[in-house]
Every structure is written in structure tokens, then in C-alpha cells.
Amino acid sequence: MFGHLLKRGAAMLCFAAVLALPAYAEGRITTDMTMKEIRSDPAIAGSGVSTYCKGDADSLALRRLYENKTLLDYVGETTAQDSADGLNIVIENYEAGKQVTWQVYSPEEIAADSSLGCVQLFWFPGTNADGKYALVVGGNAAMKSGDLNEGIAVAAKLNEMGYSVFVLRYRILWDISNNGPLQDLGRAVQFITNHAQQFGVQPENYALVGFSSGGQLCGLFSSDKRYGYKAYDVPKPGALLMGYPVNDFAEIKPVYHAVMDPASCRWRYYWSDISGGITPDFPPTYFWYGKNDVTLKTLGYPFQGPAVRKALEANGVPCEVHVYENAPHAIGTGNGTDAEGWMTDAVAFWEQHTS
């Protein structure tokens, strides 16, 4: 009887201690925290991981504008919880002594060209025995990059499945001249390949996971043409997984050229499309998009997903394509839309073609 009372008293004390805890445990990220609170977390700050998209991070005025917004407000409902989960994984790895942020270019290269300093990989170590990894490439709207909603949120889901994941932060806006973003992707794969043993991954059978304009970069890199993976002397991707990829930049192409490469007549990545680089050797491809995607409609709906699908099928490339009624642009993991759960299907597709 006395022992029973002791146990009950101990339980009551534990319950009281739980009630006395703050709304979130130290170092833990929730969707109702402000961006300022998140950025002030010592583990997040120490890890070097990007919490703002690049355009916002580079502007003091925009940082002040967004610092009092919650994570939910900043990334939206479709990816808020996954973004929080990803940041919590970052905290866990950082506090375990693991390096999260890796520079893609050497110190000498960055010293010669400071724009290369922003090109980073955020590493999410995995537990899968075969060592397959995924490289996630978010999209960008010229001034903004999808580091959270199309990067860290997606990495969280893949990492929870056991995979090692790298999120690429690449050059955007004024730094895309001379094929900068595509070069960044190629160098990132080179970096992972050259440090495969250190990261505990295998160089082959990796998945490229791209969104919007990041999907276009992944699609171009997956080609066996002169601008693809062979130019970087790395293995071909095991699978290409894309959400609402931009295939053709349409009327944006001459604008990019006039602003970024006005004096150049050489090939530039934004003039090309994924479909034009598809050959029978193209990696197995899984992608999806929505019928209510305003961005793709603005760029010419028939020249986007439908054109990629046609090229894949014409070349006999294994593919799986989903067209949803409700799947707007920039929704990443797609929670609360028709695309919810797409990552489980995409990973099954990847495994099917690389097992």
C-alpha cells in the first residue's frame, strides 16, 4: 500500500513537472514560433542552415518584415509541420556534433568569386543500409528560393524514411550568369561523390528531387547530352523525382538573357528544356503537377508537364506521372492537397528502379 502511494506521488510530481515546462522544449521548433525565435535558436544559428529563402536572407528590410511572422505564416500550411520537423532534425544532428552545412566550392574559389559562398549543402545523415542518398533542389522565383518549403521540409520526410539527404542552396537572381545554378548542381554531385565514404553514402543510384525551376535544373543535369551529368564525370542519377517542374521558361528566357548574359552568345541553361534533353538513356522519372497550377499555366501549360511526359514516353524511359486536380505551385510535400503522400509513391518508384 505504501509503495503504491509512493508510485502515485511520483507520477503526480512528474505530471506537475510536465505542466511547468515552457510551451516548447529548448532547441525545439514549432510551427507557431516566429522566424526571429527560430533564427535565434543557438543550434539553428550554429548549424549554418538557411531559415530564410535566399532573397529574403539577403535583404535587411525583408528580414525585418518576416521576423515576426510564424513559421506557419512564412511557408504555409502545406509544408509548415514538415519544415519544423526538418529544423528539429538539424538541431538533433548539430547537438550530436555532426556538421550540417558544407561549402560546395573551395575557399580559393570563393575568394576569387564571392557569389560562390552561398552555394551550400545541408546534410541530413541517414540510416539506410544500402547508402542511397537524395539530393533536393528547390525552386526559385528569381528573388526567392525554396530552401524551407521545397528543401528542408522535403528532406525531413525522406530522412524519416531512413535516407541520407542533401539540400542544395544554389545561386539565384543576379548570380545565374554563365549557367551558375546548373554548375552549382554539378559541383554538388561531384562534392558528394568525392566525399561518399565520409558521408556514408554510395555514389550510384542517388535520386535527384527537384521542384519548379529546380526541377528544370535536375532534368537538364540528368541528360546524357553535353550539359548533363557526364560533363561532371559523375554517375547518372538512379531516378529523377520532380514536383511541378518547369520545362520551358517561355517568355522569361530573353529577359534572363538580357539581364544576366547580355554579352554572351553561348548556350545558357534557361534557353533549354527538360524534354529536349531526354534520350533513351534518361533516368527513370517520376513527376507530378496540378491542373490549378497558375505558374505553369502562365508559362504555357502544354509546354510544361505534358511535353516532358510525351518525350519520356517517346524515348521509352520508365516514368510515372500524376496530374492532380488540386495541387498549386510551390507546395513542396503537398499536405492538405491532392498531392499529399506523393513522396511515399515517389520513393517506391525510386526503389523499384534501383534495387
Domain boundaries, the chain: 53-354
Please report the pLDDT score of residue 15 as a whole number.
34
17: pLDDT strictly greater than 80: no
Please report the pLDDT score of residue 251 as a whole number.
87
pLDDT digits (tens, 9 = 90+) for 217-242: 999 999 999 999 999 999 999 999 99
Averaged pLDDT, 173-187: 91
We find that the CATH architecture of domain 53-354 is 3-Layer(aba) Sandwich (3.40)
Please report the pLDDT score of residue 355 as a whole number.
87
What is each CA distance from 296 to 162, 201, 301, in whole angstroms?
32, 35, 5
262: pLDDT strictly greater than 70: yes
Please report the pLDDT score of residue 253 as a whole number.
87
Provide the sign of the torsion angle of the four alpha carbons 344, 96, 132, 194, taken in this order. positive
2: pLDDT strictly greater than 70: no
56: pLDDT strictly greater than 70: no
256: pLDDT strictly greater than 80: yes
Coil/strand/helix, residue 22: coil
44: pLDDT strictly greater than 90: yes
Give the Cα separation of 284 and 307 in Å (integer).
16
Bridge partners for 169 per DSSP: 120
9: pLDDT strictly greater than 70: no
What is each CA distance from 76 to 32, 122, 257, 314, 341, in whole angstroms?
11, 22, 32, 37, 17
Nearest partner of 344 among 164, 160, 216, 203, judged by Cα: 160
Contact 217, 179 (CB under 8 A): no
Q: Which residues contact 65 (CB under 8 A, 6 or more apart)?
A: none
Averaged pLDDT, 260-282: 92
Contact 248, 299 (CB under 8 A): yes
Give the Cα separation of 146 and 209 in Å (integer).
13
pLDDT bin (cut points 50, 70, 90) of residue 276 is: very high
**Helix and strand numbers, DSSP H then E, in the chain:** 16, 8
Averaged pLDDT, 113-137: 95
169: pLDDT strictly greater than 90: yes
Tally of CA atoms within 13 A in the half-sphere of 154 that contains its CB = 34
Rounded to two decimals, the pTM is 0.90
Averaged pLDDT, 301-311: 98
Contact 25, 32 (CB under 8 A): no
Q: Residues in the chain, how many?
A: 355
Amino acid in position 144: K
Q: What are all long-range contacts of 104-109, with beta carbons under 8 Å and residues at least 24 apart? A: 104/168, 104/184, 104/187, 104/188, 104/191, 105/187
What is each CA distance from 88 to 2, 94, 220, in whole angstroms?
42, 10, 32
Point out the least confidently predicted range of 171-175, 202-206, 239-243, 299-303.
171-175
Nearest partner of 285 among 208, 214, 230, judged by Cα: 208
Please report the pLDDT score of residue 59 as a whole number.
67
Give the Cα separation of 212 and 304 in Å (integer).
10
- The three grid cell numbers given for residue 10, joined into one nine-digit string: 511520483
Point out the least confidently predicted range of 115-119, 232-236, 311-315.
115-119
pLDDT digits (tens, 9 = 90+) for 328-351: 999 999 999 999 999 999 999 999
Share of the chain above pLDDT 70, in %: 89
pLDDT bin (cut points 50, 70, 90) of residue 176 is: confident
3: pLDDT strictly greater than 70: no
What is each CA distance from 168 to 41, 43, 118, 325, in whole angstroms?
22, 20, 10, 29
